[in-house]
């Protein structure tokens, strides 16, 4: 496994008509490459307002798009297909744990692929692991 510092996180709900970003203000964060089947784990420590936003957009366990920057803010952003696994209230802050896959496609292409897969009747877990837009 490889662990990296997560320095920026923007979530895009995929169950809407268009992509509406929700930029999160991180206190801390990390991202782990499990080095098996392109599986990644993202953990973010967020303030109360952002924690509530994540709870709201992840209630139905829909796959989200996550744009992240790793290690330094000036690094190029990476896109992930993610599903929220846990949201934990820790008082003034909280943490969010997501699992997902690294994606190669642009946001708009990923969004269109997810919509198509839902129309075809795929379950959210199948969408997450479908390989759509993911790296080999």
Q: What is the DSSP string of 15-66?
A: SSSS---EEE-EEEEEEEE-SSTTEEEEEEEEEHHHHHHHHHHTTT---EEE
Burial 44-61 (b: 16+ CB within 10 A, else e): bbbeeebbebbeebbeee
Both tokens of 130, joined, read 């479908």
Nearest to 99 by CA among 16, 32, 52, 26: 32
Domains defined for the chain, CATH in brackets: 2-119 (2.30.110)
pTM, two decimals, is 0.87
pLDDT tens for the chain, 136 residues long, are: 999 999 999 999 988 877 788 999 999 999 999 988 889 999 999 999 999 999 988 888 899 999 999 999 999 999 999 999 999 999 899 999 999 999 988 888 999 999 999 999 999 989 988 865 554 4
């Amino acid at each position: 496994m490889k662990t990296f510092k997560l320095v920026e996180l923007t979530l895009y709900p995929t169950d809407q008509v268009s992509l509406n970003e929700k930029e999160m203000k991180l206190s801390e964060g990390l991202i782990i490459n499990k080095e098996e089947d392109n599986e990644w784990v993202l953990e973010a420590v967020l303030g109360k307002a952002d924690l509530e936003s994540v709870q709201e957009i992840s209630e139905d366990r829909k796959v989200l798009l996550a744009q992240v920057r790793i290690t330094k803010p000036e690094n190029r952003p990476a896109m992930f297909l993610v599903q929220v696994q846990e949201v934990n209230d820790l008082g003034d802050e909280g943490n969010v744990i997501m699992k997902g896959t690294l994606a190669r496609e642009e946001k708009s292409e990923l969004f269109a692929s997810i919509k198509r897969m839902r129309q075809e009747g795929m379950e959210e877990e199948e969408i997450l692991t479908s390989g759509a837009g993911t790296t080999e």
